[in-house]
Structure 1
Amino acid sequence: MTPFRRRMWAMATTSLIVWGFSTITAPVQAADGISDGQWYLKYLNIAAAQKISQGEGVRVALIDTGVDPNHPDIKGSVEPGIDVSFLPLSDDGLVDEDGHGTSMASLIIGHGRIQGIAPKAKIVSLRYADSASSSPTAMGTAIKWAIDHDIKVISISAAHQDRDLVLEQAVEKAILHDIVIVAAVGNKPRKSTVEYPAAFPGVVAVSGIGVDGKLWADSVTGPEVLLSAPAEAISTASRNNRRVVTDGTSNSTAIVAGMVALVRAKYPTMPAAEVVRRLTGTATDKGPAGRDSMYGFGVPNLVAALSEPYVNSPGTTKAAATPSAAVPTWIAAPGADFPVRTVLIGGAGCLVVILAVGLAIMVVRRRRLG
């Protein structure tokens, strides 16, 4: 074989080897779950929406299991809040041993490999729960803290069966203070109906849709549903600098909370009721015509909500929004249902109160006898 033919043979062989490797590695690249789990960005046309607003100046209170402020996808965008959980780990809520809170934060403000809806907004971490327990009363306490610290958006990816008075009063007060509360409707089979705080009037209840654009099979439904958003196969940040792919209406809630942040950043004087009206009024209708128990008013069309002209007239009032609901995700939607320890703690608390009252009565009687 001549030198020329040898060179041609070598080049052809090399080309075949390179082609062979590319065909072997291509499926691996296509199967990148974290990248695939960002499908909601294209589905919701987030790139176009972020050309209008990225959430600048808006602080979102995340009531959850805490947030890890050092995760690379959210670092620099998390502010200290408070820890009102039964077993507090810090004074400022900047600890997340579960991972759920960090996951939700990344969907709202992510600016790393996980891209959130409002990357220039800030998350304020309000830790009210851990992996095993939570309390609706503690959630109400966290909401009151948010009211006192000038928060305008609250995201809650958790739900409680009991209509707790402290929580109910906190929600009512927040709505009167022009705050938009977004909460998840919950996941089957752990939940079957919309619970609290999502079931309270004025809360934006969010159901979940799947990658096929239809109602996610495990999403709770009900008349309280106001909007729907991607819930299935969503990639998020997690604890220990990891990233995971999760399912659940927790995801839907954080995504809609990010949308609210974009609208509030674009129109800082717009009342909460008008923010909600924009998102529902411009939503893409799904299912039966009009509002329904599966999708509510539909999937938000964020570009339309941000583009609609707004005139801040003197007659604008701060009216309430509409009903809604709440809960967690698949990779155990890190922490949101904690009934066992909550019940035990509640029972123990009642016993302590009863004993204390009994002791006080005994002391009073003794003083009177003396």
Structure 2
Amino acid sequence: MLTAPTISRPPAETEALSPRANIYDIRGRQWHLDYLSVRQVHKLSQGEGVMVAVVDTGVHPHPDLRGNLVAGTSVLHGDRSNGQQDRDGHGTGMAGLISSHGRPAGKGALGIAPKAKILPVRFKLDGPLGTATDLSQAIEYAISRKAQIISISSAGAANLALQRAIQSAARADVVVVAAAGNIPADRHVGFPAAYPNVIAIGGIDRGGKHTRISVSGPEVDLVAPAVEIYSTNFDGGYRAGTGTSGAAAIVAGAAALIRAKYPYLPADEVAHRLTATAIDKGPPGRDDQYGYGVIDLVAALTADVPPRGFGSVPATPGGGGPTTAEAGGPRTGENRAATVRGLVTLGVLLAAGGAWALVLRRRRRSADPPPRISR
């Protein structure tokens, strides 16, 4: 029987913490809120009625998100917690980016979808430690609890159980968002981000440019802010980090906004709306650094987006910003060999079965070497 090896903590570059913020200045440090026009976005949707599963190290009931936290679980042997414990901080940070509601008078952290519910699913106790098998069980649990979105800020090698769990999520009409990976530990987009039916997320810096820590590859779908991203911490305070973890959580929050405003929109059309309204960067059309572009929350909520299959028809802004990203067809390509490997957190704080085929075309190459595990 194969077992998953223990993986060391990510490199210092992904873990460097910015100076600690407090309840009074944290909102001003969350630069990604202004970058993504979140104040305007919250007049359109705040994620009400949507549940997002945060599959991570657990989520501490931080005062800034306690009102949105529901009882979850831990899939770890011997851990009977309800998911609302976190001794690392990573899971709490990801949850905060998605749905922190802050406190009165503009104090505290604010999430992308501050009225969305968070379902904490603990599949590792510490940021660097986890297995693909545990992650697959965590995904299956989230599906059983009717989560509409699953946010995964971890990556590693391909795994058959993990692939099957992703297929189950697709059949259940669940939007799965996953971090692509961090350089230098990762050289390829990791799994589950590299699987079909997963929205793979890279990162940009404060200037909107591809950040050097974010991996590139044909599986990258979208990019979002990933540098010095402030959020909630497991001790009730705040911290910041750099990596594609935070970018993935931000996009998961964006998916919650869409599912709240368009409750009958299926998962593939949620993904399509995100990519079709993204702001194109780099070479025209999709590229391996930016995918289909930078998420545009206002456009994703307001643009007149033609259904999938009308790839030659651009999205028409309906009060949002420019929407020049290409709308593509289904992912293609074969899955790499499945082996049991570890999953590692991507930054701090930061299908067979044919359910729905994601809207994004993949330039996947069967001769690609397997991705390296983040270390």
For normalisation by structure 2, the TM-score amounts to 0.74
State how 1:327-346 maps to structure 2 within 5 Å: 328=345, 330=347, 332=348
Partner Cα separation in structure 2 for residue 36 and residue 189 of structure 1: 30
Larger Rg: 1
The aligned residue for residue 316 of structure 2 is: none
Report if aligned partners of 2:185, 2:373 keep a CA contact under 8 Å in 1: no
Rate the CA distance shift 1:327–1:291 in 2: closer, same or farther, 3 A: farther
CA contact (8 A) 1:282 1:301 kept: yes
Looking at structure 2, the residues matched to 249 and 75 of structure 1 have their Cα atoms a distance apart, in angstroms, of: 24
Alignment of 1:173 with 2:168, yes or no, is yes
User: Deviation digits for residues 234-268 of structure 1, max 9, x if unmatched?
Assistant: 11111111101211100000000000000000011
- Residues 91-240 of structure 1: pairs in structure 2 closer than 5 A: 91-112=81-102, 113-131=108-126, 132-161=128-157, 163-240=158-235
Give the counterpart letter for 2:138 in structure 1.
A
Count of paired positions: 298
User: How many Å apart are 1:87 and its aligned residue?
Assistant: 5.4
Q: Which residue in 2 is equivalent to 1:39? A: 31
Alpha-carbon distance between aligned partners in 2 of 1:339 and 1:220, rounded to the nearest angstrom: 11
CA distance in 2, matches of 1:164, 1:122: 29
Q: Quote the Cα distance in structure 1 between the aligned partners of 2:213 and 2:78.
A: 31
Corresponding residue SS for 1:125 = strand
Q: Are the counterparts in 2 of residues 277 and 321 from structure 1 also a CA contact under 8 Å?
A: no
> Does 1:56 find its partner at 2:48?
yes
Of 294, 297, 304, which aligns to 1:302?
Answer: 297
How far apart in 2 are the matches of 1:240 and 1:305? 34
Within 5 Å, which residues of 2 pair with 1:280-359?
Answer: 280-309=275-304, 322=331, 328=345, 330=347, 332=348
CA gap of 1:321–1:47, structure 2 versus 1, over 3 A, is: farther
Partner SS for 1:181? strand
Quote the Cα distance in structure 2 between the aligned partners of 1:67 and 1:185. 22
Superimposed CA distance per residue, residues 208-242 of structure 1 (whole angstroms, 9 cap, x where no aligned partner):
00112100111111100000000001111111111
Counterpart contact for 1:34–1:245, Cα < 8 Å: no
Instruction: Look up the equivalent residue of 2:155 and give its one-letter code.
Output: A
Aligned partners of 2:30 and 2:229 also within 8 Å: yes
**Alpha-carbon distance, 1:125 to partner:** 0.3
Q: Which residue identity is paired with 2:112?
A: I
More relative contact order, 1 or 2 (CA 8 Å, 6+ apart)? 2
Deviation at 1:328, TM superposition (A): 3.8
Check the 8 A contact 1:286/1:298 in 2, yes or no. Answer: yes
| Distance (whole Å) between structure 2 residues aligned to residue 278 and residue 254 of structure 1 | 17
Q: Contact between 1:128 and 1:142, CA under 8 Å: does it hold in 2? A: yes
1:74 counterpart (53, 65, 69): 65
Measured in 2, the distance between the counterparts of 1:295 and 1:266 equals 26
User: Could you report, residue by residue, the CA deviation over 1:177-233 in whole angstroms, capped at 9, with x for unpaired residues?
Assistant: 111100001111121111110010110000000112100111111100000000001
CA distance, structure 1, for counterparts of residue 47 and residue 330 of structure 2: 21
Report the AA paired with residue 121 of structure 1: A
2:236 maps to: 241
Distance 1:329 1:202, change over 3 A: closer
Q: 1:119 and 1:238 mapped to 2: Cα distance?
A: 17
Letter in 1 for 2:41: A
Which amino acid letter does the alignment assign opposite residue 215 of structure 2?
V
Q: Secondary structure at the match of 2:251?
A: helix
CA distance in 2, matches of 1:285, 1:220: 18
RMSD of aligned alpha carbons: 2.7
Q: Secondary structure at the match of 2:125?
A: coil
Per-residue deviation, 1:85: 2.4
Whose helix fraction is larger, Structure 1's or Structure 2's?
1
Per-residue CA deviation, residues 81-111 of structure 1 (Å, 9 max, x unaligned), is: 11012552x3311110100000000000011
SS in 1 for 2:289: coil
Given that residues 134 and 338 in structure 1 are in contact (C-alpha distance below 8 angstroms), is that contact kept between their aligned partners in structure 2? no
Q: Is the 8 A contact 1:186 1:219 kept in 2?
A: yes
1:327 CA drift (Å): 6.2
Please give the alpha-carbon distance, in whole angstroms, between the structure 2 residues aligned to 1:199 and 1:86: 28
Gaps of 5+ in 1: 1-28, 313-319, 341-370
